[in-house]
């Protein structure tokens, strides 16, 4: 704006200068003919008058031109400053928009993931309900059927005992199922209490050994060898939740028992550091596909194979085992070769410290 004004002033100055010079020349050449009476001194005075008017007009324009030049520079620097500020604001806005877009994308991804998980969980729950009604119905039918048989008048004494044993066993299966469901739901809501006590690890493992040797005899798995490898002395103590450690072992050993028909099941314990124990349960059973290593620890997940399908189970055991190991501040992993066997390894600190 100021630049345009300045150009106009320069134009005006030039125009005035040319006009005044023209008028002066016209006057100089025509003064004798137009004003014959004018003296030489008068003509000089008039010329000086013209020149002084001309120079004052010119100086005024020159002054204006410089003033506008200064204004123009000032305006230019203000404009540059504004432009810089605008670029800065734009850049900041671009950054904020990029950040917000990233955050929105993240939220969107999380929502998608949550949706997939919710659908998956719904599917698993439906499968679970189907399984559970089957698992509840089977022992219940047996209990009802054999209870009816016992009620008959002419029933032999030995049959009563056999039927009663069946009723007790199926009742225990039902209890186990209800217990597992309760444990899984307590773990899920973080309401599983931990009861810490100090006990002899050696005696604890010997008790487990006895229970499973009796099971082997009861289920007549004669082709199975049980091996116990404890690298701990009789006075080795552990401070942890005994009932949970018992559940972890029973579950891993029952699985090894379920999925192994011949060969060996080995249970071992070692001290890896001063304050950590490592335990393992290995078998020479059917094995697990590598892509199922993580999934078998999820709730209601069973490997789709003929053995899992016929043996039964609800796919809750390993998820509870993992939950318990983590509750005792440990970790659990599985390694397996399909058709050759599996090894479940878990670590537990020798002294449980409460995590806040
Ligand atoms: P379930 O009550 O069905 O056995 P788990 O959670 O204990 O549930 O086990 C989940 C699945 O993991 C089992 O159905 C089985 O397919 C697989 N599995 C667990 N332990 C073993 C094992 N020792 N050998 C082979 N497969 C196993």
Atom 11 of ligand 1, residue of closest alpha carbon: 302
Residue 107: the pLDDT is 96
β-pairing, 224-230 with 263-273?
parallel
Mutate to test the pocket of ligand 1, among 255, 266, 306 (most ligand atoms within 8 A of CB): 255
CATH of 122-188, one of 3.40.50.10800, 3.40.50.300, 1.10.3720.10, 1.10.287.130: 1.10.287.130
Task: Give the number of the atom of ligand 1 that is nearest the alpha carbon of residue 320.
Answer: 6
Residue 251: the pLDDT is 93
Atom 14 of ligand 1, residue of closest alpha carbon: 302
Residue 343 and residue 356: Cα distance in Å, rounded?
32
Q: How many Å lie between the centroid of ligand 1 and the Cα of residue 27?
A: 123
Place of tokens 């620890």: 297
CATH topology of domain 197-349: Heat Shock Protein 90 (3.30.565)
Q: Largest Cα–Cα distance in the chain?
A: 172
Predicted structure pTM score: 0.63
What angle (nearest 5°) sits at the alpha carbon of residue 330, between those of residues 329 and 335? 160
Q: How many Å lie between the centroid of ligand 1 and the Cα of residue 255?
A: 6
Residue 99: the pLDDT is 94
Task: Give the number of the atom of ligand 1 that is nearest the alpha carbon of residue 302.
Answer: 14
Residue 202 and residue 215: Cα distance in Å, rounded?
20
Task: Give the number of the atom of ligand 1 that is nearest the alpha carbon of residue 315.
Answer: 8
Atom 23 of ligand 1, residue of closest alpha carbon: 256
Q: How many Å lie between the centroid of ligand 1 and the Cα of residue 317?
A: 8
For residue 228, give every residue at least 6 positions away whose Cβ sits within 8 Å of its Cβ, in sequence order, or none. Answer: 205, 209, 266, 267, 268
Q: Packing angle between helix 317-327 and helix 157-188, nearest 10 degrees?
A: 50
Residue 313 and residue 315: Cα distance in Å, rounded?
6
Atom 16 of ligand 1, residue of closest alpha carbon: 303
Q: How many Å lie between the centroid of ligand 1 and the Cα of residue 300?
A: 10
Residue 271: the pLDDT is 81
DSSP state of 262: S
How many residues in the chain?
A: 356
Place of tokens 């001063």: 274
Q: How many Å lie between the centroid of ligand 1 and the Cα of residue 246?
A: 18
Residue 332 and residue 316: Cα distance in Å, rounded?
16
Q: Using an 8 Å Cβ cutoff, are 279 and 205 in contact? A: no
Q: How many Å lie between the centroid of ligand 1 and the Cα of residue 332?
A: 14
Pocket lined around ligand 1, Cβ cut-off 6 Å = 255-256, 259, 283, 285-286, 288, 296, 302-303, 308, 313-319, 342
Residue 55 and residue 17: Cα distance in Å, rounded?
9
Q: How many Å lie between the centroid of ligand 1 and the Cα of residue 296?
A: 7
Of 123, 164, 6, 20, the C-alpha closest to 76 is 6
Residues 246, 247, 249, 255, CA torsion sign: positive
Give how far the C-alpha of residue 316 lies from the chain's centroid of Cα atoms, to the nearest Å.
Answer: 24
Atom 25 of ligand 1, residue of closest alpha carbon: 287
pLDDT, one tens digit per residue, over 236-289 is 899 999 999 999 999 999 999 889 988 999 999 988 787 899 999 999 999 999
Atom 13 of ligand 1, residue of closest alpha carbon: 302
Mutate to test the pocket of ligand 1, among 132, 280, 304, 308 (most ligand atoms within 8 A of CB): 308
Q: How many Å lie between the centroid of ligand 1 and the Cα of residue 133?
A: 20
Of 277, 265, 259, 258, the C-alpha closest to 208 is 265
Q: How many Å lie between the centroid of ligand 1 and the Cα of residue 230?
A: 25
Q: How many Å lie between the centroid of ligand 1 and the Cα of residue 13?
A: 102
pLDDT, one tens digit per residue, over 183-232 is 998 998 888 999 999 999 989 998 998 888 887 777 677 788 888 888 77
Query: What residues in the chain have per-residue pLDDT under 50?
Result: 356
């Amino acid at each position: 704006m100021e630049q345009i004004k300045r150009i106009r002033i320069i134009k005006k100055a030039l125009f005035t200068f040319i006009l005044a010079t023209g008028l002066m020349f016209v006057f100089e050449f025509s003064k004798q003919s137009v004003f014959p009476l004018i003296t030489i001194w008068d003509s000089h005075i008039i010329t000086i008058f013209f020149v002084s008017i001309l120079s004052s007009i010119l100086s005024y324009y020159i002054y204006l031109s410089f003033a506008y030049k200064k204004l123009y520079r000032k305006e230019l620097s203000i404009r540059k400053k504004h432009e810089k500020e605008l670029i800065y604001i734009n850049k900041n806005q671009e950054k904020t928009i990029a950040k917000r877009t990233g955050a929105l994308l993240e939220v969107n991804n999380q929502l998608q993931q949550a949706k997939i998980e919710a659908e998956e969980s719904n599917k698993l729950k439906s499968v679970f309900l189907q399984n559970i009604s089957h698992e509840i119905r089977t022992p219940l039918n047996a209990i009802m059927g054999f209870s009816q048989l016992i009620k008959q008048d002419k029933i032999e004494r030995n049959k009563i005992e056999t039927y009663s044993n069946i009723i007790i066993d199926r009742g225990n299966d039902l209890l186990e199922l209800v217990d597992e469901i309760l444990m899984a739901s307590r773990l899920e809501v973080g309401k599983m209490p931990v009861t810490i006590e100090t006990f002899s690890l050696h005696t604890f493992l010997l008790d487990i050994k006895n229970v499973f040797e009796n099971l082997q005899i009861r289920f007549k798995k004669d082709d199975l060898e049980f091996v116990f490898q404890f690298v701990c002395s009789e006075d080795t103590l552990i401070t942890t939740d005994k009932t949970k450690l018992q559940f972890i072992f029973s579950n891993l050993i029952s699985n090894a028992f379920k999925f192994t028909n011949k060969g060996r099941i080995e249970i071992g314990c070692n001290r890896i550091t001063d304050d950590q124990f490592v335990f393992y349960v290995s078998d020479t059973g059917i094995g697990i596909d590598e892509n199922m290593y993580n999934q078998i620890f999820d709730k209601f997940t069973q490997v789709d194979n003929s053995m899992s399908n016929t043996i039964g189970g609800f796919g809750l055991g390993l998820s509870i085992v993992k939950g318990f190991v983590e509750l005792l501040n440990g970790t659990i992993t599985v390694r397996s070769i399909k058709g050759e066997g599996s090894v479940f390894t878990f670590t537990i600190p020798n002294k449980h410290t409460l995590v806040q």
